[in-house]
Amino acid sequence: MTSQLDVVWLRKSFGARPILDVALSLDAGDFCLILGENGAGKSTFFRCLLELDNHDGVVEVNGKRPRRHILGILDHPMLYPRWSAAANLRYVLNDSHADKIPVVQDLLGDLLRRPYGKMSTGQRKLVLLATLLASDADVLLLDEFSNGLDQSTRSRFREAVHRDLKERGRTIIATGHDLYAFESLPTRVMVLRDTQLTDITADYFSDRDLTRAYAQHVARNSA
């Protein structure tokens, strides 16, 4: 199978301090969860994939440069709090009918009419997710997305993502510390530590427990 996303030794430093030295290939339909401590470089990795930060190395989506093929939600998105969810969606996607797209209607429903600034954290996350799922991007990035989701929102999040992976075959990469929100979603699990990505997918698939797989990896590498 041809990889949908190829990252060939992406390197990033802040001054003399190396931050990233990573390689990664993901297929269509992959949901890749990247774990790691705060400050490990996860958000910087996403900024590099989105071409917001300069870096060395190559990033390709289906053999092409990533521009317009990768769309992401960073930890502090800039949406207009006084605008409705529908107005924000139309603006961000530059589509006057964005709020009429079926996936948006299914995910948001009555929330479309509510001002973004008056929503709960979980509701805002659903608006951001709807923005990604309504786009034409081949690779979607969810930075710290799981934080602040209640049980109901987690369920709606997982259902929407499962459907997108099955029907659209996109590649999704996520980070976040609330690992229960990602239950059953990952096809790949990576840990970002000391500038590099380590694949712990096999550990995760042994019992489908993200918390245990991550704790075992940390224990093995803390001696």
Mean pLDDT of 151-169: 92
pLDDT > 70 in the chain, percent: 97
Mean pLDDT of 8-33: 96
Pick the residue with more confidence: 121 or 23?
Answer: 23
Cα 109 to chain center, whole Å? 23
Residue 18 has a pLDDT of 95
Q: Which helix (H) or strand (E) holds 201?
A: helix 201-207
Q: What SS3 state is found at 78?
A: coil
What CATH number does the domain containing 142 carry? 3.40.50.300
Q: Is a pLDDT exceeding 70 seen at residue 32?
A: yes
Q: Tell me the pLDDT tens digit for each residue of 171-182.
A: 999 998 889 899
Helices H / strands E in the chain, number of each: 7, 9
What is the number of structural domains in the chain?
1
CB 128 within 8 A of CB 144: no
Mean pLDDT of 39-45: 94
Mean pLDDT over each residue of the chain, to the nearest integer: 92
Q: How far is CA 223 from CA 40, 54, 57, 131, 204, in A?
A: 19, 34, 31, 43, 21
Crossing angle of helices 121-133/151-167, nearest 10°? 10
Helix then strand then coil, % of the chain, to nearest 5: 40, 25, 35
Q: Is a pLDDT exceeding 80 seen at residue 97?
A: yes
Q: Is a pLDDT exceeding 50 seen at residue 1?
A: no
Task: Name the pLDDT band for 76 (thresholds 50, 70, 90).
Answer: low
Task: Name the pLDDT band for 223 (thresholds 50, 70, 90).
Answer: low
Q: For residue 100, give its domain range.
A: 5-220
